[in-house]
């Protein structure tokens, strides 16, 4: 009897905690709580969004539009769908990593069901014209999904204003716990679930919820947007100071991506005549943690698909270094980084 009572209380508390987290996510992107589905990560959210829409509609429409610079969670999902008979258009991007709205509109066909374009790129930080893309999608009656995994916490997203129908996010990209993500799907849009089982997440994602993770995600998203202006300003200043110092002190470097329209904490610079793995190794010895072409392709000998798409030659692509600034970094950290970089780069070039 006592046990039973305890269980009921815990169950109710758990339900309430999950509901509260859902409300926090909804508030952050301006949607309704019931439009949020919790998942295990950003990759799962991307899979559920894209496959979910395609499977639901494949009898009627089977063409999707995406870009060449998406995260593998989107690109490989699209490849998988191609093997299942779905037609996919991969849009080009310009030197800065921007899509062309004209090309996007031209790519829409009678059988286009979905446009999936990332809000901001994880390697070069380029931010896409999301509001304009949303407008085009709406005008043509095509659904619009955006992978906002890099954007949530760093940029203000309003799904109503931006006409976003589906949006993916992942907690560990905004200081939340690993192993939990969320997908927003506008009310009324039907999609196929990918995992069968119980009735969790309004019957769209079977399996017992990761309650601790979900609560952490809710807290993290709330905190991110509470200090948004201050945090954003700080990261932008660090980023611009770093880029300026590198360009001033190290010859033969080139900034990858868009100088202005980029994530506040992202700086991706190529150092000619240097291999980024060697650079990373030397930086690590100095206690500096950065990434090469792509964090997700460690050990991958091929140059980054993103750098290839923006037309970086393979020599420069091999020497790309991505630095991501965070909440705890200071101007002194940047000075320390640039000092070491300039020494290491000239050493490696010798
Ligand atoms: C990290 C990332 C993902 C994948 O998120 P996980 O939670 O690691 O699965 C998807 N898209 C982008 C743009 C990312 O940066």
Q: How far is the CA of 251 from the centre of ligand 1 (A)?
A: 33
Out of 172, 197, 226, a domain closes at 226
Length of the chain: 350
**Nearest residue by C-alpha to atom 5 in ligand 1:** 42
Out of 226, 253, 280, a domain closes at 226
CA-173 nearest atom, ligand 1: 1
Q: Judge if the beta carbon of residue 122 lies within 6 A of ligand 1.
A: yes
Q: Judge if the beta carbon of residue 45 lies within 6 A of ligand 1.
A: no
List the beta strands (DSSP E) in 282-345: 320-324
**Do 322 and 275 share a structural domain?**
yes
**Do 176 and 239 share a structural domain?**
no
Residue 307 · residue 320 · CB < 8 Å: yes
Other CB atoms within 10 A of residue 101 CB: 14
Pick the catalytic residue: 41, 78, 289, 296? Answer: 296
Q: Judge if the beta carbon of residue 294 lies within 6 A of ligand 1.
A: no
4 vs 122, higher pLDDT: 122
CA-70 nearest atom, ligand 1: 13
**Do 139 and 36 share a structural domain?**
yes
Q: How confident is the model at residue 11 (pLDDT cuts 50, 70, 90)?
A: confident
The pTM of this model reads 0.95
Residue 204 · residue 37 · CB < 8 Å: yes
Sheet-wide strand order for 253-255 = 253-255, 266-271, 320-324
Based on the structure, what is the number of domains in the chain? Answer: 2
**Do 259 and 222 share a structural domain?**
no
Q: How far is the CA of 159 from the centre of ligand 1 (A)?
A: 19
**Do 165 and 36 share a structural domain?**
yes
Predicted confidence (pLDDT) per residue in 131-149, tens digit: 999 999 999 999 999 999 9
**Do 312 and 292 share a structural domain?**
yes
**Do 222 and 158 share a structural domain?**
yes
Of 315, 241, 328, the C-alpha closest to 271 is 315
- CATH number, domain of 124, equals 3.40.640.10
**Do 277 and 180 share a structural domain?**
no
| pLDDT value for 1 | 47
| pLDDT value for 289 | 92
Active site residue 296: yes
Q: Is 78's pLDDT higher than 60?
A: yes
**Nearest residue by C-alpha to atom 8 in ligand 1:** 42
**Do 261 and 190 share a structural domain?**
no
Looking at residue 211, what DSSP letter applies? Answer: H
Predicted confidence (pLDDT) per residue in 91-120, tens digit: 999 999 999 999 999 999 999 999 999 999
Q: How far is the CA of 46 from the centre of ligand 1 (A)?
A: 9
**Do 116 and 53 share a structural domain?**
yes
Out of 187, 211, 226, a domain closes at 226
Q: Judge if the beta carbon of residue 118 lies within 6 A of ligand 1.
A: yes
Q: Is 22's pLDDT higher than 50?
A: yes
| pLDDT value for 296 | 45
| pLDDT value for 62 | 96
Q: Which two tokens stand for residue 294?
A: 């792509």
Predicted confidence (pLDDT) per residue in 288-336, tens digit: 998 886 544 455 667 899 999 999 998 999 999 999 999 899 999 999 9
**Do 95 and 186 share a structural domain?**
yes
**Above pLDDT 90, what percent of the chain?**
91
**Do 157 and 84 share a structural domain?**
yes
Range of the domain at 233: 229-349
Q: How far is the CA of 293 from the centre of ligand 1 (A)?
A: 15
- CATH number, domain of 328, equals 3.90.1150.10
Residue 190 buriedness (CB in 10 A; 0-12 / 13-18 / 19+): exposed
Q: How far is the CA of 45 from the centre of ligand 1 (A)?
A: 9
């Amino acid at each position: 009897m006592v046990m039973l009572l305890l269980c009921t209380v815990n169950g109710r508390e758990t339900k309430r905690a999950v509901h509260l987290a859902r409300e926090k996510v909804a508030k952050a992107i301006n949607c309704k709580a019931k439009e949020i589905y919790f998942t295990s990560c950003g990759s799962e959210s991307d899979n559920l969004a894209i496959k979910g829409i395609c499977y639901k509609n494949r009898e009627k429409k089977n063409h999707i539009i995406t870009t060449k610079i998406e995260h593998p969670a989107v690109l490989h999902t699209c490849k998988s769908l191609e093997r299942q008979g779905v037609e996919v258009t991969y849009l080009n991007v310009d030197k800065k990593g921007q899509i062309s709205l004209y090309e996007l509109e031209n790519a829409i066909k009678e059988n286009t069901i979905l446009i999936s374009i990332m809000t901001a790129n994880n390697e070069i930080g380029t931010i896409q014209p999301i509001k304009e893309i949303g407008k085009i999608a709406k005008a043509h009656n095509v659904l619009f999904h955006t992978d906002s995994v890099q954007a949530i916490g760093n940029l203000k997203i309003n799904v109503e204003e931006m006409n976003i129908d589906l949006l993916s996010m992942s907690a560990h990209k905004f200081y939340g716990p690993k192993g939990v993500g969320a997908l927003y799907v506008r009310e009324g849009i039907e999609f196929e679930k990918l995992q069968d089982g119980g009735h969790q997440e309004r019957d769209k994602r079977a399996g017992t919820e990761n309650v601790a993770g979900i609560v952490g995600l809710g807290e993290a998203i709330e905190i991110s947007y509470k200090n948004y202006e201050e945090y954003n300003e700080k990261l932008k200043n660090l980023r611009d100071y770093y880029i300026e110092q590198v360009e001033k002190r190290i010859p033969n470097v080139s900034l990858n991506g868009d100088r202005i329209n980029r994530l506040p904490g992202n700086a991706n610079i190529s150092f000619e005549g240097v291999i980024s793995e060697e650079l990373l190794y030397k930086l690590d010895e100095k206690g500096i943690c950065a990434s090469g072409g792509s964090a997700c392709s460690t050990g991958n000998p091929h140059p980054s698909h993103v750098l290839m798409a923006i037309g970086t030659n393979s020599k420069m692509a091999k020497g790309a270094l991505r630095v991501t600034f965070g909440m705890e970094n200071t101007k002194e950290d940047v000075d320390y980084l640039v000092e070491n970089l300039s020494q290491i780069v000239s050493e490696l070039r010798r």
